[in-house]
Amino acid sequence: MKFQLALCAALSGITTLSIAAVSPEEAKQLGNELTPFGATKAGNAEGTIPAYEGGLTTAPADFKPDSGFWADPFKDEKPLFRIDASNVDQYADKLSDGQKHLLKKNPETWYMDVYPSHRTAAYPQKVMEATVRNATACNTYNDGLSIEPECRGGLPFPIPKTGNEVMWNQLLRYKNGPTATTTTSSNSWVIDSNGTITKAAEQATFEEFPYYQTDRDDRDPEMYARVFSLNKQPARRAGEVVGINDYLDPTKKPRRAWSYTPGQRRVKLAPEFAYDTPVASQGGVTLFDELQMFAGMQDRFDFKLVGKKEMYIPYNAYKFNFEADQMDQFSDHHANPKYERWELHRVYVVEATLKPGMRHVYSKRHYYLDEDTFGAGLYDAWDQEGNLYRSMFLSGVQLYDKQIPYAVKNVIYDFNKGMYGVINDGLKGGFRIPKEALPERQMNAEAIVSRITQR
């Protein structure tokens, strides 16, 4: 038996045993009682969560294609009810610790308007077929830290069994289409404890997922994502470029981060852009491993899949993403609740606990990820003394003409400092999906810097 295990490891090049994919029998649930991407197809017993019927693929009449902005298909809806400090305990089982903290700390100003739930997530047929295939083909190894490069083109684990698999779904969720997403003006704002608003950065960004570019042969098959951003403001950082590449086996090919500074006129590696290093362009209110809720390698925490539950999460937030007045979206101690939309959805619950001997500013984290998208949701983190440190609300919209569930803009709260940030705000320039992916020769760091700086 020992010989067989050693032989298997030697043949696969894997130093630890793989965690097997689901059986063919279990995978038959996909497309039946489960959606092709693994969510429960039926609604809940109370009728407050509807059954999944294919998502939203029809644009409203006032939508302007390729404008960078998506019109709100639910703009005429009214809230079903409001959660505030007076009734928070009534809904406590469906709220995160961060939501409850904000409601109780700001009883006069922060509230949650709850709207009818709409399961708008829709994916291209190609992505759903790849997800079904991945269910029986994808495995993790290195104790969940890595997945095989054969996993391509769809969610790797539509029927997740472990916390690591849920987090891989979050990392590899479909949110950029077959090419990329770009912005000409992605803004990060920080609001301090006195209510002072500071634009931490204005950036042009580019983010793509080679993981979903299955029809190209010029991409590294082990790279799943890459992003770069050009700083436009503040003036002292104008012209700086930062790039990050992430890989399916980060134990063998760790994150490749780099930066370019105009004053030095050279590209240099930046291995510090990981884990609990604060993100300077986001005013230090966000850490590198909590970009869009989680990013990077899963080696410092034990990720436990607790189960699924119903929670009020930011969803179909078209007003917040595309229609809010840019300066009116802020209040002194929290985002302006009149632009937020909350819906009841089922979420995967993952608890992350810092491993013995590992260093991090957090001791524990909770992730609440929408079952339909693995994007929209909630996140809480506790410091080493067990105090609630940060919370994030990641809002989602369906890009109905592109069949992309998009979740990027978020609000993150730092309760230790009494400040918060509004991150990835595209209200000024919108978000765009390029029609074609760039050739690989234009995607290395030197080519990116040359192309940007010559504009």
- Please calculate the CA angle 32-37-41 and round it to the nearest 5 degrees: 45
Q: What are the angstrom distances between the C-alpha of 276 and each of 20, 171, 366?
A: 31, 17, 16
User: Is 5 within a domain?
Assistant: no
Whether the CB-CB separation of 54 and 41 falls below 8 Å is answered with no
User: Is 393 within a domain?
Assistant: yes
User: Is 436 within a domain?
Assistant: yes
Give me the residue label for tokens 């790849």: 130
For residue 46, what are the contacts with CB-CB under 8 A and spacing of at least 6? none
Q: Give the other-Cβ count within 10 Å of 218's Cβ.
A: 11
Q: What are the angstrom distances between the C-alpha of 452 and each of 18, 206, 232, 269?
A: 42, 11, 11, 18
Nearest to 316 by CA among 22, 69, 73: 73
Q: What pLDDT shows up at residue 444?
A: 87
3-state secondary structure the chain: CHHHHHHHHHHHCCCCCCECCCCHHHHCCECCCECCCCCECCCCCCCCCCCCCCCCCCCCCCCCCCCCCCCCCCCCCCCCEEECCCCHHHHHHHCCHHHHHHHHHCCCCCCEEECCCCCCCCCCHHHHHHHHHHHHHCCEECCCCEECCCCCCCCCCCCCCCHHHHHHHHHCCCCCCCCCEEEEEEEEEEECCCCCEEEEEEEEEEEECHHHCCCCCCCCCCEEEEEEEEEEECHHHCCCEEEEEEECCCCCCCCEEEEEECCCCEEEECCCCCCCCECHHHCCCCEHHHHHHCCCCCCCEEEEEEEEEEEEEECCCHHHHHHCCCCCCECCCCECHHHCCEEEEEEEEEEEEECCCCCCCEEEEEEEEECCCCCCEEEEEEECCCCEEEEEEEEEEEECCCCEEEEEEEEEEECCCCEEEEEEECCCCCCECCCCCCCHHHCCHHHHHHHHHCC
Nearest to 413 by CA among 205, 129, 208, 110: 110
Q: Whole-model pTM?
A: 0.94
Q: How far apart are CA 398 and CA 118, in angstroms?
A: 11
Q: What pLDDT shows up at residue 447?
A: 87
Q: What pLDDT shows up at residue 16?
A: 53
Whether the CB-CB separation of 137 and 128 falls below 8 Å is answered with no
Number of domains observed in the structure of the chain: 1
What CATH number does residue 307 fall under?
2.50.20.10
Q: What pLDDT shows up at residue 263?
A: 85
Q: How far apart are CA 148 and CA 141, in angstroms?
A: 8
pLDDT along the chain (455 residues), means of 10: 36 50 94 97 98 98 97 98 98 98 98 98 98 96 94 97 98 95 96 97 95 92 95 92 97 96 90 96 96 97 98 98 97 98 98 98 98 98 98 98 98 97 96 92 88 68
User: Is 277 within a domain?
Assistant: yes
User: Is 244 within a domain?
Assistant: yes
Q: What pLDDT shows up at residue 8?
A: 40
User: Is 188 within a domain?
Assistant: yes
Q: What pLDDT shows up at residue 342?
A: 98
Q: What pLDDT shows up at residue 281?
A: 93
The residue type of 136 is T
Q: Give the other-Cβ count within 10 Å of 334's Cβ.
A: 19
User: Is 7 within a domain?
Assistant: no
User: Is 196 within a domain?
Assistant: yes
Q: How far apart are CA 415 and CA 97, in angstroms?
A: 12
Q: What are the angstrom distances between the C-alpha of 307 and each of 203, 263, 328, 350, 383?
A: 37, 50, 37, 7, 24
How many residues would you count in the chain? 455
Domain assignment of residue 306, given as a range: 81-453
CA within 13 Å, CB half, 147? 29
